[in-house]
Amino acid sequence: MPKAKESERQTVTPIGETFEIIEAYKSLRANLLFALANAQKKIVVVSGAEPNVGKSTTSSNLAVMMAQTGSRVLLIDADLRKPTLHKTFHVSRSDGLTKCLLRAGDWESAIVKEVAPHLDLLPSGPIPPNPSELLGSARMVQLLNTLSEEYAYIFIDTPPINVVTDGLILISRAAGAVLVTRQNQTTYDEVQEAVDGIRRVNGNLLGVVINDYKTTAGERQRRYYYTHYGYGNVKD
């Protein structure tokens, strides 16, 4: 695919201008850089416990922020049920991940170059009838292995963990996962269910993002908060 237009690249960064938001993502980036320091394949899955928590916005922001370090970064839209990243970055999804998996070996033509400086995007492609089977296929493993040789960091946006198994399939093959929640929406039981699922597939939970986070009554609202879950046992 061709590069995104220059005019579009100036508008795709969805972080906004709020100082607290930018600093929160810088903190998350710093923690991930430390957590992934010894991982051979720096693949991070970003998912939510349930829908509508902002996991796609978080994955986009995090990929943009990581690319600002000068590293070559790839963002993959693996939400093959309700993809949105092509809209965020104003590109087509007529080609993308699903077509890559169906025509094994040809992935370069599906990647949109430079949707932001140092950041490429692999859109979802057409929505398939069998998302879980495609994401769990040997071709997906091969594709991730190949892309890991081309990119310093790969971020994968997936459907909510508690809704379908797609995210857990990919978490089992990643260096770790970031779980996205929303204050006053995501319940403790939903978080616990998602954490238990990650543990069942021997995944590594790198941390939790709480969107629309408010510290205490009377304090100004923060839209993002990152809490550390632990950096041990980072998988290659």
Q: What is the DSSP string of 189-205?
A: HHHHHHHHHHHHTT--E
Given a cut of 60, is residue 106 above it in pLDDT?
A: yes
**CB of 37 closer than 8 Å to CB of 148:** no
Given a cut of 90, is residue 4 above it in pLDDT?
A: no
pTM: 0.85
Q: Is residue 112, in this structure, part of any structural domain at all?
A: yes
Taking 3-state DSSP, the helix, strand and coil percentages for the chain, each rounded to the nearest 5, stand at 35, 20, 45
What CATH number has the domain bearing residue 193? 3.40.50.300
Quote the domain boundaries for residue 191. Answer: 21-228
DSSP-assigned states of every residue in 23-87 = HHHHHHHHHHHHHTTT-SS-EEEEEESSSSS-HHHHHHHHHHHHHTTT--EEEEE---SS--HHH
158 burial type by CB count under 10 A (0-12 exposed, 13-18 middle, 19+ buried): buried
Measure the CA–CA gap between 212 and 162, rounded to whole angstroms. 21
Given a cut of 90, is residue 74 above it in pLDDT?
A: yes
Identify the pLDDT of residue 24: 84
Q: Is residue 43, in this structure, part of any structural domain at all?
A: yes
Among all chains, which residue has been given the structure tokens 């995944």?
203
> 97-101, 170-174, 186-190, 208-212: which has the minimum mean pLDDT?
208-212
Q: Average model confidence (pLDDT) for the chain? A: 85
- Minimal CA–CA distance to 118: which of 85, 163, 75? 75
Which tokens belong to 20? 């607290």
Q: Is residue 10, in this structure, part of any structural domain at all?
A: no
Instruction: Render pLDDT for 221-236 as a digit per residue (tens, 0 to 9).
Output: 444 444 443 323 333 3
Q: Is residue 235, in this structure, part of any structural domain at all?
A: no
Count of domains forming the chain: 1
Range 51-79 average pLDDT:
94
Q: Is residue 15, in this structure, part of any structural domain at all?
A: no
Identify the pLDDT of residue 16: 53
Range 209-226 average pLDDT:
60
Range 28-42 average pLDDT:
93
